Each structure stands twice: as structure tokens, then as C-alpha cells.
Chains A and B, each alone.
Chain A
């Protein structure tokens, strides 16, 4: 524990800005992954333990597309759409077969996929860290902001993520698709009885959740080292976010992701080894005080 360093940082404008921006983008990436987890859980009632690996796939896909095309837009798209397709295949070929079975079976299938994907990544991209270069369009001087500096890419990532957050919220609350999905989450057989294809609805939600993980991976590729197994820590953190924000709540996921991102950024200065401990304490606290989470509707 080094609280002097933390105090020193908090009184220096440049350090505060640096850590704030770092926490912000951790939070943004976390939100993208967690919103997929929370969406899939809220509607399908399935906890997708493979979601962290989807994020990893997105990053590697983006890396490969960038190497081939040298275009960041294509890379990000490749990551997002590739993972979406993978997610649909995963739901159709594996997950859908065990919807009726024991919940622990779903856990096992996801666990198996995590193991397989990590090894496939090792085979395809190697066990070593790889790094995607920062795309040329973002290799510009950082923005000055309140005595500190923020890389341009951070700003772009934040803007894109906020736009996606608004878009997904609108999709879920303002469109017919969103209303149908929420109705199916309440009572699937009733929705099916009204003549709506709930199988397609499930695929759609799973595709959307996978897409979000893929976007997160693609956006993370230029600023993170890629390595097989990189999905695990973001998976655990996105669970914390989901629980704190409330299962099924997009707004909750956003707030909680920011909270965890900032905890990480400032914790890495004050208590680097105990940052995870603090995050789990937060989660335990929320579960004990309000199990449905900050924005949760359902009662535990």
C-alpha cells in the first residue's frame, strides 16, 4: 500500500488527468464487454463465461485485418463482425442445444470454449504478446487538457463508446426490437405464442452481445498487448460490473464500468496488488446491501 503516492498523484493536475483518462478507457472497454454479458443474461438467462474470449477474438481479428489492410476502420469492423458471426455460430451450434439442461452445463460449455479458443489463439497467433501498431491517423500530438495530456485515440475511443452506449439504450428502450426482447425476457412462451420467432430473437440478442465484445476487442487492439488468455481478467471484471450495475441494465453497466475503471486506474498507484481486492469488496458490498445492483429491477 502506497497511499503517499496516491495522495501525491491526487494533488498533481497532470497525474489526475492521466489516471482519469486511463480509468476512463478501461471503463469504456469494460462497459462494451459487460453490456454484452448483461444483455445476454437479461434476455437469455445465460451467463456467457466465454464473453472474455470473444473480446480476445475481436482483438486478434482486428490485428490480422490491420496487418492485411493497414486500415484501422477495416480492422475494427473485422473484429466486430467476425466476433458477431462467431457468436451466432456458438449460440446456434452449442449453446442452444442445452437451453433446457442443467445451468451448470452451460457453464461447462462456455468453459470448454474458453479453453479451446485460448489454445487456438496460441496456434494461430503464437503464445507471445503481439502488438498492433497505433494506426497512422491517430499518431498525432496528444490533446492538452487541464494541465495533463490525453492521447487522441483515448478521446476517439470514449466518444465511440458513449455513442454505442446511447445507441444500445435506444435500441432496447425505444424500438420495437427492444420492446419485443424485453417482453421475451419477462415471458418467452407468451411472446412466442403471439407469433414472434423467439429463436431468432435469441440469436439476435446473442449476436448483439457478441458484436459489442468484438467492438471492444477491436478498439482495444491498438492500446493493449494481445496474448492468449487476455479475456479472463476482463471477463471477471465484467462480472463485477454486471453485478454492481444490476443484471440486465445497460445504464447500470455504464456507471459500474466507469467506477471499476477509475478504481483500477487510481488503485494501480495507491494499492497495485490490492486493486482486485477492492473491486471484489465493492461487489460484495453491493450484493449484501442491494443484490439487484445499482440499477437492477429484479429482486434477488
Chain B
């Protein structure tokens, strides 16, 4: 393991430890709720950015895996045959399998065609869930709650435990995705994003790399879906609706695509914005839309992108200034 990876692992452990002591200091339920939702949507947005930011494939159908994760996990738990870790692992296997099949069909296309094909598969799942009432409950969603039997002393029925579990999943997910991005595989993805022809001249199979990225990002999105189904104790067709994918893209754009943690920051901004706006006014689209417009027309890039560029410019400026006085 490289020094960088060790450093990041240590940093992740520190962040998790810090998050873990919060409930001991103060019983602040809104904060716990927020971190759980941040874990859900942060994992979703980060996984989507593996495709959009690192592979250059803009997916409009990433909600497919979010919904799939929540429904597969919910159904597995409702069957009563599995413990939570087993159902968790099973769901990831299902997500990977679906990702393999859908990805094989999708990644042959690029640009807008890829976007629309992924959208088509997501909406196909949505229609399937709506019409296959006997299994999915149709538009009512997966009702009756999701049983959460204790495992290893963890009782996810209690919000403190769900909080710790979500925070743990978020930290682990971030570390894993960071590893993937920094690995030779991640570098290869960026290369074929920037110049697929060149990558294939060098002997990389563009198809297989894209497919692998598709599957990996789908699996991480499914983890977000699983956490969501645990959080709301159910699964709803809206989890596979196109708006989920739209919100994911929105989060990525808010935070920025170039910084690794940009999408996570974007998810946090999005959730805060939503909470504040919903609390203040019933016309939440009007305010949210205006904020987006100001963002887009003012910054023309994500917030972390903007900050990174701003800091870089200031550093360069300072260096130039020093050089000037010498």
C-alpha cells in the first residue's frame, strides 16, 4: 500500500471517529439525519462522477442502480431469509450483474446516445416496478417496512446505529472510490475519457474499461440505494424515476467534477439548499431554480472547481508577486 493510500486511510479513520463521537456529545437528531442523507446521496453522486467526471460518460440513468439497490435489498429483507450483511452483499451482486448486462449494451454508445440509452433502461425499470404490482407494490412502493434484525450488535432500527453504519459506509465508499481513481485503472479511465482513440491505439480495450467503470459505479450507487431503503424503511418507484438521476447530475455540477470530493460537497450543498428552501417557502422550485441560475451564470463551474482554481490563481499570483519584488 502506498504512502498516499495509508495517509488517506488514516484521514478516513479520523473523520469516522469524529463523526462517531458527535452523538455522544449531543443528541442532535437533525444532524444524524443529515449525515445519513449525505451518505446516501454523497455515495450516489460520487459514484455517478466515476462515470461523468472520470470516464467521460454522461449517464442520465444512474437512478437505475439507486432504485435497484433499494428494491433488491428491501425485497431480500422482506423475504426474511437473509441477515442484513448477506442481503447487502446479495444486492451488490445483483447490481453488478445488472450493470454488466445494461453496461454491455450501453457503453458501446457515447455522448447523448449513451445518455438516452441509460435513461431508457432506468425508465424501463421504473415502468416494471409500477406494473409488477404483485412483487413491488406498484406505485405504493414496498410497504410494510423493512425488517432490520440485529447483526454483530448493530441494530439499524435505532437511528444512532443507522447513523454510524451510514457514516462508516460513506467513509469506506469514499476511500475505495479514491483508491480506484488513483489506481492504474483510474488513470486509464481518464486517458480514454480524454482520447479514446489514442487509448485504443495503445492497446487498451475501451469497451472493457468503460464497462468496468459502469459496473463499479453502479455498485456504489446501489449502496446509496440500500442505505436509502434502510433510512425510509421501504422503497418507492420515485427512487428509479429520472429525477433522481437529474439530481445526481445537479449535485455533481454544484460541487464540481475535477476535485474528487466535489460531488460530495455538491450533495451537501444540495441537501442543505433543499432543507433551507423548503423550510422558508412553499415555492421551493422558484428559489432553487434562481440559486442554480446564479451559480451557473456566476461561477460557470462547480463550487470546488471554482475554489481550486481560485486558490491556484492566488498561489500563482503570490509567486509572481514574490518574483516581482526580488
Q: Which A residues form the contact surface with B (CB < 8 A)?
A: 1, 47, 94, 97-98, 101-105, 107-109, 111-116, 118-120, 122-123, 236, 239-240, 243, 247, 271, 273-278, 280-281, 283-284, 287-288, 291, 300
Contact = CB atoms under 8 A, between A and B. Distances in A.
B75 interface: no
25 contacts: A98-B296, A102-B301, A105-B253, A105-B300, A107-B253, A108-B249, A108-B295, A111-B250, A111-B292, A112-B293, A115-B288, A115-B292, A116-B293, A120-B286, A123-B283, A239-B119, A240-B120, A273-B133, A274-B131, A276-B127, A277-B124, A284-B124, A287-B117, A288-B117, A291-B109
Interface of B: 52, 58, 105, 109-113, 116-117, 119-121, 123-124, 126-128, 130-131, 133, 138, 242, 246, 249-250, 252-253, 283-286, 288-290, 292-293, 295-297, 300-301
A112 B123 contact: no
Contact of A287 (B52, B109, B131, B286): B109
A249 B58 CA distance: 23
Nearest to A271: B131
Nearest to A47: B112
A111 to B, nearest CB: 6
Contact of A284 (B112, B121, B138): B121
Contact of A116 (B126, B127, B290): B290
A248 B85 CA distance: 49
Contacts of B138: 273
Contacts of B285: 115-116, 118-119
Contacts of B288: 112, 115
A273 B246 CA distance: 23
In the A-B complex, the 8 residue pairs with the smallest Cβ-Cβ separation, listed nearest first, are A277-B127, A115-B285, A115-B289, A116-B289, A273-B131, A119-B286, A112-B292, A112-B289
B131 A247 contact: no
A239 B246 CA distance: 15
Nearest to B286: A119
Contact of A122 (B111, B120, B130, B283): B283
A105 B252 CA distance: 11
Contacts of B283: 119, 122-123
B289 A98 contact: no
B35 to A, nearest CB: 26
B127 A112 contact: no
B286 A108 contact: no
Contacts of A98: 296-297, 300
Nearest to A283: B120
Contacts of A114: 289
Nearest to A93: B297
Contacts of A236: 123, 242
A103 B52 CA distance: 12
Contacts of A284: 105, 117, 120-121, 124
Given A113-B293, A120-B286, A283-B120, 4 more contacts: A114-B289, A116-B289, A287-B109, A300-B110
Contacts of A243: 113, 116
